[in-house]
Amino acid sequence: MPNSMSAQRRTNNKSGKSSTPLDDRQRKLLEEEEKLKQRAELLNRVIEEAPRIKADRVRAQREELLMDRSIRNHRLNSSTLADNRYEQMAGRPPSRTKRRPMKAERRQTRLIFFGLLLLFAVLVIWLLSVWHWQWPG
């Protein structure tokens, strides 16, 4: 008879609106367990896919290096050096070599330097003349 009473209590709790703290705790634990199972499944899928993703990345890098090397080798076999001025426009990063300033830039820089030097000389002469008038020697 105790079995029928416990079964009756269980059905009353499911249909009834009031639940005991123990039932609430059990329900929360079941929900947490379900969440943890889902998380574990997700992590297992990620772990299973990781080698494939890494292999894809390695293959893509290898292909990119092969393409880059084939372009360079072709250029090295030619009698002239490669023209790298337009690599940046083609989507490739600029080469590591330092760019030399053009003649016009060098000329402009030289003019600015001498102009500032002249201005500095005029300023020094003016300051000396003003100080000389202040302190007659």
On whether residue 51 sits in a domain, the answer given is yes
| Predicted confidence band of residue 11 (pLDDT cuts 50, 70, 90) | low
* Residues 72 and 117 grouped into a single domain: no
* Residues 76 and 122 grouped into a single domain: no
Quote the percentage of the chain above a pLDDT of 90. 46
3-state secondary structure the chain: CHHHHHHHHHHHHHHCCCCCHHHHHHHHHHHHHHHHHHHHHHHHHHHHHHHHHHHHHHHHHHHHHHHHHHHHHHHHHCCCCCCCCCCCCCCCCCCCCCCCCCHHHHHHHHHHHHHHHHHHHHHHHHHHHHHHHHCCC
* Residues 112 and 70 grouped into a single domain: no
pLDDT tens per residue across span 64-78: 888 877 666 555 555
pTM score: 0.33
Q: Is the Cβ–Cβ distance between 36 and 28 less than 8 Å? A: no
Q: Residue range 11-18: average pLDDT?
A: 56
Cβ contacts of residue 88 below 8 Å, gap of 6+? 94
* Residues 120 and 75 grouped into a single domain: no
Residue with the bigger pLDDT between 33 and 93: it is 33
pLDDT tens per residue across span 41-66: 999 999 999 999 999 999 999 888 88
- Structural domain count of the chain: 2
Domain that holds residue 58: 22-81
On whether residue 15 sits in a domain, the answer given is no
Name the average pLDDT for the chain: 79
* Residues 58 and 109 grouped into a single domain: no
On whether residue 10 sits in a domain, the answer given is no
